[in-house]
Structure 1
């Protein structure tokens, strides 16, 4: 996979050393805003990236890439991903995928028309521990309750409460606890038991943004409670309770570093199966396999799950009246 990166933010800084250790991925180009070119050049020198661009259209047209990783601000995911697809590039996009399911449906249609992979980088979905949980779920009997907590005090929260408008705390930039953190919890649940019948969201709102909140997904036979917070720190993890046993995940759902299982018949076990030290390693190996070997079936399954998650996010926002208009058109000049 010849990867071009759109963006120079914190996530890019985190995963570039990971990609340097993966023979499956070759980072050949990076695109930045004009004001961030110096940072892109620093990445180029440190990681041996061939080309640096500050014009996105030129990047898509000229760079020696087959895949674009979209690592820009959340509300620009859609236009950046759309432009990449229109230029015949596979797309890997940070979560949340888009600002609405409507946008993601449009991207899905383009990926089908152009026969391209379109994938959301949801780290916890690709680690070995999560796959094992899916395998062992049948041992728990009828699933009754799922509880997820992803809470961490944001380094930007104090600045936000002091009156500064920051993308991480701006709903129209895709900020807030629901989109930023709870989306990982939703993926965790949907990947196990599918789409709920009803969604209710109870946000704690400060200055028109949800700094924390509780999402309840009702499946009829199962209730899932997803908590996320950027204004406080909690005990991150997840618990799956069934009529015959329980699984406890010992980390936030974006990592799934280990888990324990115990059943009513006395079976107990502890699992730490993840083979990549960094949470993003596993997903890039899988993405490279999808793209290099045209393994589209699993890519399509993952995209279908992302569409369900975006629908749930839409429902949660509408239920809580978090924004007045569910859709808007992001303005971007390439």
Structure 2
């Protein structure tokens, strides 16, 4: 297991516990009481660290290499019912943006989300979760298909941003994201959005206009990453921790600002510590959200969605 810098006290105690148990197994010394004391200290240390995380520490957790990604959630939630769909019917299939039909219980959903890789090869294959214009156009194609057949849309956000390459701009990156935002505001079917990891800039907004928007406890949502914010304001990444606090990018900050509608609690230590619990929490959150939306007419959905986004922010005359 990989440990982040602020998790090193936990690592030390876990190593002490393993050594203590090993001594007990290999000798006749009774180490039961010592192990209990270490376990008690370990439990308290975990609580002290994870219940008082800074904004930057939550950003680090959202990027943990063992954290589950979009396909992990979809496969765990839908099982064998998920059927992936490909291509934007214009340029090509973007591997950074995945989508398809799946079921939770008896209810069908159109799942769409950014997908990152697990190692060097798959990260390159998935373009590090940064979608090109064809990825956003694929997402819109799938949303329109869902609208046609009255299927609710679920978007799972986890991206450091839309791909900023020259070729992406040549193919209309800005237009593709703007078009998605416009079309999602008037899509005549329920949209449930869950930010499962990184929610950066327009890359997140391109599939982030939902009737109900939820954030995982250790995810973040902001117009810019802390590192890029630091590099602009201080011309260095060294102030990223200060930038993270100033950006108000955590789930609790976004809820207070009414940018999102709720927080999905994670297991102590993050979603990667207990994946099954995290999967169940997301599944239940999606089902509960759909229960709140399923009886609304398409006209009511669009009106409430427009009203929701019109109220975000402060306007002064």
TM-score range normalised by the length of the shorter chain: 0.3 to 0.5
Larger proportion of strand: 1
Q: TM-score, normalised by structure 1?
A: 0.32
If you compute each CA radius of gyration, which structure gives the higher value, 1 or 2? 2
Larger proportion of helix: 2
Q: TM-score, normalised by structure 2?
A: 0.34
